[in-house]
Structure 1
Amino acid sequence: MTGWLPVAPCTPDGCARHTGAVRAPLPAALLLLSGCALVLLGVACIPLVRLLGAGPRRRLTRCWARAVPQAFGVRVIVRPHLPDGAPDGVELVVANHISWLDIPLVASVLPGRMVAKREIRCWPLLGPLAARGGTLFIDRDRLRALPAAVRDIATTLRSGSRVVVFPEGSTWCGRGGGVFRPAVFQAAIDAGATVRPVRITYRTDPHGSGLAAGAVAFVGADPLAASLWRVVRAAGLTAHVDVLAPIPADGEDGRRALARRARAAVLGPGDLLQARQTAVASDRANRPAESVHH
């Protein structure tokens, strides 16, 4: 293990459980087929979408990404609503990380180039989609590769592209969360980019009660197939995506202070104490950890 391979204390047996209402196997299987078909359609259409201009390409990406969670039976609520014609910005989007569903959720609101661990390239369905979509793959097995990864992200930001990253460095079950690794925030400082925090929560109803992170949590060695089936079996899932106020990356406070500000914004004051308690053991075990992956 290296310093940029943080480990969350979450495990499939302990965290990835759904205790609420469930769908019957047949409707769940139909949702699974529809969701996988939509993902495959997205992979097949990428070469054609690349031929479009920036505006139409962005709108199509958002529409497709918005449809993916819905195809798997998850309702999506975005606050505030961002129009489809909203322009791209030179910003680093940072979000908490619970599930593979986080990726299309963020892309449906703020599409950009994702930062991901190298292993995702080999995943079924999602791997080819990520590769063709311009994902920046990071080699987490080599600590020496970290400075080059930061430079690549900064260069991408300077080119005018939006970059999306999950700076906890690993998926968490939603009860609390991990420390935001500061390395990626150095890229925002170097590029003079704005940091845009995004908060993702999963509920069992659209009105905000009944946390349901266990149904969607994709943690530890959880097989992707098992996670997919757990999502489509869980009835009444609603994903809340809160787009928060931007944070200027002026470099005065440094990357660690910027990471702490972004984490405080994403978690909110009510969740900070719980997050601190659940993350402290992992943070001690992984120091000095400055990781970027999803």
Structure 2
Amino acid sequence: MTGWSFTASASTGTDRRVNWRAPVRLVVLALWLVACVTAYYLLALLPGRNPVPPVFLAGVAFIAGVHIMVEGQRPRRAMLLANHVSWLDIPALAATARSAFVAHDGLQGHPVFKTLCEMNDTVFIARSQRHTVSRQVDQIRAAIDECDVLTLFPEGTTGPGDALLPIKSSLLSAIDPPPQDVPVVPVLLQYRDPQGIAWLGDQPGVENFMAIMGRARPVELTVHFLPPLVGRELAGRKAMAAAVEQRLAGALGLANKATKA
């Protein structure tokens, strides 16, 4: 096991009252954003992937008070298929695996988010337009060539954290077949207190964001990099979906037992 952490505070729980933590973290986050955007454009002329976006996202995890532990072997080059619990999943995977991400094209309607996503080489996919799959395949392969690690959340939305949502095989169309010589690696994101982290139902995104930024207690997260899919597990999107769901469910069951022990 490899352990390392981002810790911004310690105490008890999420304080729903107005407190100093959220505003202070927001100020620090704004300063960090300005510094990283400046560095990004200064380094934009260099060849290869710009190193700033993963560093920026790792800093977001630090500022938000995330304490990350890593289980398993962090891949140098892979397609990651992870469960989705919170917006914190993104900075956590960028911090641990320097990952870029696959996102639904609805984010393109938000100029600020779109710009930040594009800086991190995000691949936007149109879920409802099946005729674009071949183009999406090319985009994903190009992104892996550029970034080495790319993450897709095949549940399609955020879940409760202590249980999985069904894996949507349709979301795996763009990696069917997987890029050659690129391992497909299931990843379990396990939060110690998922009820205080998960973004569920009709909760406004800003409300969830502020609740997390106002926490007094660190966000404890274990990132489990599971063994890559092999053999028949890679025989089409439905086989991949079934294998990933089985792997994640098994790992989550073991993790929950270990937590309760």
Normalised to the residue count of structure 1, the TM-score between the two structures is 0.68
User: Equivalent residue for 2:61?
Assistant: 69
**Does the aligned pair in 1 maintain the 2:80–2:149 contact within 8 Å?**
yes
**In 2, distance between residues paired with 1:51 and 1:228?**
33
Is the contact between residue 202 and residue 213 of structure 1 (CA under 8 Å) also seen in structure 2? yes
Counterpart contact for 1:198–1:244, Cα < 8 Å: yes
Q: Distance in 2 between matches of 1:63 and 1:160?
A: 14
- Residue 28 of structure 2: aligned partner: 34
Stretch moving more, 67-76 or 34-43: 34-43
Which of 169, 187, 190 aligns to 1:198? It is 187
Residue 255 of structure 1 deviates from its aligned partner by 2.2
Partner of 2:194: 213
TM-aligned CA distance change 1:77 to 1:125, over 3 Å: farther
C-alpha change, 1:50 and 1:179, in structure 2 (3 Å) is farther
- Secondary structure of 1:164's match? strand
Q: Which residue of 1 aligns with 2:44?
A: 50
User: What is the rounded CA distance, in whole Å, between the counterparts of 1:124 and 1:75 in structure 2?
Assistant: 30
Residue 136 (structure 1) aligns with: 123
Give yes or no for contact 1:75–1:238 (8 Å, CA) kept in 2: yes
- Alignment CA distance shift 1:30-1:270 (3 Å): closer
AA at the equivalent of 2:189: I
Equivalents in 1 of 2:168, 2:124: separation in Å? 17
1:150 positional shift: 3.6
- The one-letter code sitting in structure 2 at the alignment partner of 1:199 is L
- 8 Å Cα contact 1:172-1:178 kept in structure 2: yes
Q: Could you list the runs of 5+ residues in structure 2 that have no partner in the other structure?
A: 1-11, 257-261
Q: For residues 48 and 130 of structure 2, what CA distance do their matches in structure 1 show?
A: 35
TM-score (normalizing by structure 2): 0.76
Tell whether the 8 Å contact from 2:133 to 2:174 is kept in structure 1 after alignment: no
In the alignment, the residues of structure 1 paired with residue 97 and residue 250 of structure 2 have an alpha-carbon distance, to the nearest angstrom, of 20
Query: What is the one-letter code of the residue matched to 1:64?
Result: F
For the residues of structure 1 that align with 2:128 and 2:34, how far apart are their CA atoms? 29
Shift of 1:185: 5.9
Partner of 1:178: 165
Q: Partners in 2 of 1:186 and 1:115 — Cα distance?
A: 10
Over 3 Å counting, the alpha-carbon distance change for 1:39 and 1:232 in structure 2 is same
1:80-229 maps to which residues of 2 (within 5 A)?
80=72, 88-89=76-77, 91-123=78-110, 125-157=112-144, 161-183=148-170, 184=172, 187=175, 189-192=177-180, 193-203=182-192, 212-229=193-210
Gaps (5+ residues) in structure 1? Answer: 1-19, 204-211, 275-294
Question: Which structure's relative contact order is higher, taking Cα pairs within 8 Å and 6+ residues apart?
Answer: 1
